[in-house]
Structure 1
Amino acid sequence: MNTYQATKNALNDKVILITGAGDGIGRVAALTYAEHGATVILLGRTTSKLEAVYDEIIALGGPKPAIVPMDLKGATKQNYRDLGATIEQQFGKLDGLLNNAGILGSLGPLEHFCASTFDNIMKVNVTAQAMITKYLFPALRKSPNASIIFTSSGVGRKGREFWGAYAISKFAVEGMMQTWACEVGKTNIRVNCINPGATRTAMRASAYPGEDRDKLATPEDLMATYLYLMSDDSVDVNGQSLDAQTK
């Protein structure tokens, strides 16, 4: 799917929520979806970053987006319930959910991880995504063809030393995606994962501070896969974990 070419109006009339939409892959996905006709809901921790993405979308002539400031580390069940209710009330449906937000924490041996770091990573990378998906399901059911995308990682498929709680959280994401996919079966909802691979983002830089960023793929380079899974061309794809970059 890395060479998929979406039509200009591939996402017309779709409403898509992106978590972690303020920068990195989430920002580029929001811009890309808007460029292809979607009304995007920008969810993230930093309001100023979301406002900047909002302005970019308006400048490129995309549908007017919505902004939802939310810190997933401190979000409550009521926050998620309110989010789902608001989307149903204001938009009537939800056609896409990109669970993109995540935190890396610190790298090192598992035996040296502190409990609070482990808890924070699991809350943002796993619990928050499960809760968002749960409370957005009523709105997703009202879409003719709804797509949920979770964000995976190579360290969530094969264990690697020193990746600690982040790797464990991505193994959990892969399992969560597969479980959701089995449960939705042949309904109007499909659930898949994308592994972005090594990408020029702030998270990657914190994990590999000495790496030459110019040799990495940019978020823009990955968008073919993100567009494919959100478009109706992927309505029969469910329970898959796709790589956004070819080897």
Structure 2
Amino acid sequence: MKKLSGKLALITGATRGIGAAVAERYAQEGADLILVGRSYEDLEKMDDRLATYNVSVTLTPLDLRQFASIDEMAHKILNRFGKLDVLVGNAAILGLLTPIVQLPADTWHEVWEINFFANWYLLKAFEPLLQRSEAGRGVFVTTSVTKGVHPFWSAYSLSKKALEEMILLHVAENTSSSVKINLIDPGEARTDMHAQAMPGVDPLTLPTPSEITDLFVQLASDQLSESGRKFYV
């Protein structure tokens, strides 16, 4: 039996890597999808990839740094669907691995805008739509480099630490909410970002993104009781 039949899930960074794999897995499990990505051409390729699953796919080309557009997207989804069941905040960028004072200011700002501020806007805009669901679920993708100090990872690690604290704080402020919002650390996977960060690692030694999607399904399910936790693949 399909585990997400009848669900409507929005996924950011949905055209490649983990986001694309989660989109395909959710489609396999019967969820209708709203896919968010910068490139409409890449979104159309995902639409073709998902055609076999007989689910509704809404393509939303959007640069998440255009924060006002996130509110506009939420209003359009409210008017069209009346609710949202699952929000997956997956989109992120690495920036540069370099000493923190040598990081270009524009790179610092871009990493924080996408990895942290865009997710704050998503949470703010879509939490009311998740409340309209019988089982609203939020899943935000984080990383292992939030633990301890990781030299040269500056903007990426700090923006993800801030993301984690934001989600935990929001859950602590809403203990009576029926919406369950959690963090997921997917670990190392065969993605472009991992290749960018660790070019010396043989990608064939790593799991593919499609191999790590089970936990994403679990965190979107009606049976989920946990909220405000960091889960590890």
> Given the two structures, how large is their TM-score scaled by the length of structure 2?
0.97
Letter in 1 for 2:96: S
1:181, distance to aligned residue in structure 2 (A): 1.4
SS at match of 1:125: helix
1:189, distance to aligned residue in structure 2 (A): 0.5
Which residue, 1, 12, 20 being the options, matches 1:19?
Answer: 12
Could you tell me which residue of structure 2 aligns to residue 152 of structure 1? 142
Could you tell me which residue of structure 2 aligns to residue 227 of structure 1? 217
1:136, distance to aligned residue in structure 2 (A): 1.1
Q: Give deviations 1:144-200, integer Å, cap 9, x for gaps.
A: 111111111111122211111000011011101101211231322011000011110
Could you tell me which residue of structure 2 aligns to residue 33 of structure 1? 26
Could you tell me which residue of structure 2 aligns to residue 165 of structure 1? 155
1:237 correspondence with 2:229:
no
Letter in 2 for 1:66: T
1:64 correspondence with 2:56:
yes
Could you tell me which residue of structure 1 aligns to residue 171 of structure 2? 181
Matches within 5 A, 1:184-199: 184-199=174-189
Letter in 1 for 2:78: E
SS at match of 1:233: coil
Which residue, 3, 20, 29 being the options, matches 1:10?
Answer: 3
Could you tell me which residue of structure 1 aligns to residue 80 of structure 2? 90
CA contact (8 A) 1:57 1:64 kept: no
Which residue, 188, 205, 210 being the options, matches 1:215?
Answer: 205
> Distance in 2 between the 1:76 and 1:198 partners?
29
Deviates more, 1:185-194 or 1:25-34: 185-194
Which residue, 18, 35, 47 being the options, matches 1:42?
Answer: 35
Deviates more, 1:176-185 or 1:147-156: 176-185
Which ranges of structure 2 fall in alignment gaps of 5 or more residues? none
> Distance in 2 between the 1:161 and 1:192 partners?
27
> Distance in 2 between the 1:158 and 1:191 partners?
24
CA contact (8 A) 1:35 1:62 kept: no
Which residue, 104, 112, 132 being the options, matches 2:94?
Answer: 104
CA contact (8 A) 2:143 2:160 kept: yes
Over the aligned positions, Cα root-mean-square deviation in angstroms equals: 1.0
Show structure 1 runs of 4+ deviating over 2 A: none
1:110, distance to aligned residue in structure 2 (A): 0.9
> Distance in 1 between the 2:51 and 2:82 partners?
22
CA contact (8 A) 1:14 1:96 kept: yes
1:92, distance to aligned residue in structure 2 (A): 1.1
Name the count of aligned residue pairs.
233
Q: Give deviations 1:20-58, integer Å, cap 9, x for gaps.
A: 000100001011011111101000111111111111111
Which ranges of structure 1 fall in alignment gaps of 5 or more residues? 1-7
